């Protein structure tokens, strides 16, 4: 994570709301017992009074950040690593030559907090848990790609996963979000055995979670004694808490607030770098008029002034989007022309489609920094081409609250955390794109897979149903004593240190 006080990015990343802090005074001598028991106070937007410890059903960044501190990952996405992943409690993943079977080897000596060794039975259950415990749709990636009924654990160190169809990216599927939990876990409480660097000491829904260092953790021992994760829904309130010393690290800082914090004494502003940027999109439902007409979709995309959004909403801290996901990942199609701002062509397309003067309503909510502000500028751009556009702004936490209803809305905001395009492609909208993505995931050679992926992205660029003007970084602010926050798919606090 880099300081960006003196930087003016042409782009940015997203989703994670996160904070960190410390609990020792400047007078504490280094090495004293008081300075050793440091507590990082980290503030997030949070999940409200209905919040639980079940990260499979939790839609916020806080849910996953907390879960990863408590439950060790099987492995993690790492585009720079040889296999595209870095390993955790699973030490290797190998694919059969026909890409139909994946074999996972469990690391020896990993223990849960109740003293039991982690085995293949736990890993297999962890992979099945989203389906068994009715997790949110984004947690179902494993069961969509592997036949979990036929999966097996032939010995204590081995898990065999048969793929539903040949896939070359099975490692990335397995490592995107899977955390290790004990076999037969059905509920998540403060006493549920865990395997991560911290354990849960106390939990108040919608208020705070206090974590304590797990001294039996198999990996690199945390420098912190404790982490307090606080829920502060209002972004301005999080900033004020940082300024007043009530917390030491905040995440999901708004771009305008970040600009003011850059010059504050004793504080620093940081943001994630590509590919760890969220894909902010405004989706047009092709089952609803007028978005069943590709000319209307193209007109809406041409109407949007992307550079204005980068500068006016994100103050330069955002990457210009091109209406396709996964900017910065290896298979992103950089050969596509950047879609420009062409309101005159947009008007012409609407006239050709018989859609001049149409009425549309865009639904958005403050689910990530700049989502509503960007929607506001999109409404202005649409009005400029004659569309009678209005914005329906929902309260925080409500945009995805009724997910089936959300999917049915004609025009809505959304975002995707940083991830590979192919494994996160949702089929069913464009069959020709679906077929190419299938080839991109199953072809024998890497070049065949890359070619198919680029062709799929080209079709989405030409006729797709998403306006994706920017990629948004996770913007954090912290006391200048806080170091070691890792900007991954979500911010990782496990290696944070606090300087006196």
Q: What is the per-residue pLDDT across 284-317, written as a single tens digit (0 to 9) for each?
A: 999 999 999 999 999 999 999 999 999 999 999 9
CATH (one of 1.10.3720.10, 3.40.50.620, 3.40.190.10, 3.40.50.300) for 2-70+196-272+476-498: 3.40.190.10
**How far is Cα 321 from Cα 282, in angstroms, rounded to an integer?**
12
| pLDDT, mean of residues 152-162 | 98
Q: Is 90 helix (H, G, I), strand (E, B) or coil?
A: strand
Burial state string for 77-113 with b = 16 or more CB within 10 A and e = fewer than 16: bebeeeebbebbbbeebebeeebbbbebbbbeebebb
Q: What fold, for 75-175?
A: Dipeptide-binding Protein; domain 1 (3.90.76)
Are the beta carbons of 401 and 60 closer than 8 angstroms?
Answer: no
Q: What fold, for 277-473?
A: Dipeptide-binding Protein; domain 3 (3.10.105)
**How far is Cα 368 from Cα 415, in angstroms, rounded to an integer?**
8
Give me the residue spans of the domains in the chain: 2-70+196-272+476-498, 75-175, 277-473
> In the predicted model, is pLDDT for residue 85 greater than 50?
yes
| pLDDT, mean of residues 80-96 | 94
Residues 6+ apart with CB under 8 A from 68: 179, 196, 490, 492, 494
Q: What is the per-residue pLDDT across 273-288, written as a single tens digit (0 to 9) for each?
A: 999 999 999 999 999 9
Q: Is 207 exposed, middle or buried (0-12, 13-18, 19+ CB in 10 A)?
A: middle
Global pTM?
0.81
Q: What is the pLDDT of residue 271?
A: 87
> In the predicted model, is pLDDT for residue 18 greater than 70?
no
**How far is Cα 364 from Cα 415, in angstroms, rounded to an integer?**
11
Q: What is the pLDDT of residue 235?
A: 86
Q: What is the pLDDT of residue 411?
A: 98
2-70+196-272+476-498 and 277-473: same fold?
A: no
Are the beta carbons of 391 and 379 closer than 8 angstroms?
Answer: yes
| pLDDT, mean of residues 184-198 | 97
Q: What is the pLDDT of residue 487?
A: 81
Q: What is the per-residue pLDDT across 409-439, written as a single tens digit (0 to 9) for each?
A: 999 999 998 889 999 999 999 999 999 999 9
**How far is Cα 342 from Cα 348, in angstroms, rounded to an integer?**
10
Q: What is the pLDDT of residue 490?
A: 79
Q: What is the per-residue pLDDT across 397-406, written as a single tens digit (0 to 9) for each?
A: 789 888 889 9
Q: Could you tell me what percent of the chain has a pLDDT over 70?
A: 93
Q: What is the pLDDT of residue 233?
A: 86
pLDDT band at 48 (very low <50, low <70, confident <90, very high): confident
């Amino acid at each position: 994570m880099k300081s960006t006080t003196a930087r003016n990015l042409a782009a940015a990343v997203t989703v994670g709301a996160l904070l960190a802090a410390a609990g020792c005074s400047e007078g504490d001598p280094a090495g004293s017992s008081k300075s050793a028991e440091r507590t990082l106070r980290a503030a997030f937007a949070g999940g409200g009074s209905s919040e639980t410890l079940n990260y499979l059903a939790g839609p916020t960044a806080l849910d996953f950040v907390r879960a990863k501190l408590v439950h060790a990952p099987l492995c993690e996405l790492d585009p720079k690593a040889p296999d595209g992943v870095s390993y955790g409690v699973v030490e290797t993943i190998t694919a059969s030559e026909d890409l139909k079977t994946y074999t996972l080897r469990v690391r020896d000596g990993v223990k849960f907090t109740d003293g039991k060794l982690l085995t293949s039975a736990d890993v297999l259950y962890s992979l099945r848990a989203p389906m068994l415990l009715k997790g949110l749709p984004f947690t179902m990636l494993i069961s969509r790609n592997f036949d979990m009924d036929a999966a097996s654990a032939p010995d204590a160190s081995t898990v065999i996963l048969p793929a539903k169809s040949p896939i070359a990216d099975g490692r990335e599927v397995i490592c995107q979000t899977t955390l290790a939990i004990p076999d037969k876990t059905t509920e998540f409480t403060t006493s549920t055995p865990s395997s991560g660097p911290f354990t849960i000491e106390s939990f108040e829904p919608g208020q705070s979670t206090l974590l304590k260092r797990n001294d039996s953790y198999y990996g690199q021992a945390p420098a912190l004694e404790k982490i307090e994760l606080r829920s502060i829904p209002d972004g301005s309130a999080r900033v004020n808490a940082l300024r007043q010393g009530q917390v030491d690290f905040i995440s999901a800082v708004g771009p305008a607030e970040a600009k003011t914090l850059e010059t504050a004494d004793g504080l620093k502003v940081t943001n994630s770098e590509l590919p760890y940027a969220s894909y902010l999109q405004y989706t047009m439902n092709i089952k609803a008029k007028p978005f069943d007409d590709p000319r209307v979709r193209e007109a809406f995309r041409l109407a949007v002034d992307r550079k204005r959004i980068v500068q006016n909403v994100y103050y330069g801290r955002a990457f210009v989007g091109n209406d396709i996901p996964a900017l910065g990942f290896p298979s992103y199609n950089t050969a596509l022309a950047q879609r420009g701002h062409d309101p005159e062509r947009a008007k012409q397309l609407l006239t050709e489609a018989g859609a001049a003067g149409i009425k549309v309503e865009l639904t958005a909510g403050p689910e990530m920094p700049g989502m509503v502000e960007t929607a506001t500028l999109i409404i202005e751009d649409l009005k400029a081409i004659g569309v009678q556009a209005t914005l329906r702004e929902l309260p925080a936490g409500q945009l995805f609250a009724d997910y089936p209803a959300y999917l049915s809305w004609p025009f809505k905001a959304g975002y995707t955390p940083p991830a590979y395009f192919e494994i996160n492609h949702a089929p069913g909208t464009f069959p020709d794109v679906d077929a190419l993505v299938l080839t991109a995931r199953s072809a024998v050679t890497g070049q065949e897979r890359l070619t198919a992926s680029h062709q799929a992205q080209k079709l989405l660029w030409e006729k797709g149903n998403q306006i994706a003007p920017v990629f948004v970084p996770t913007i954090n602010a912290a006391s200048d004593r806080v170091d070691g926050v890792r900007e991954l798919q979500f911010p990782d606090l496990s290696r944070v240190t606090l300087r006196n």
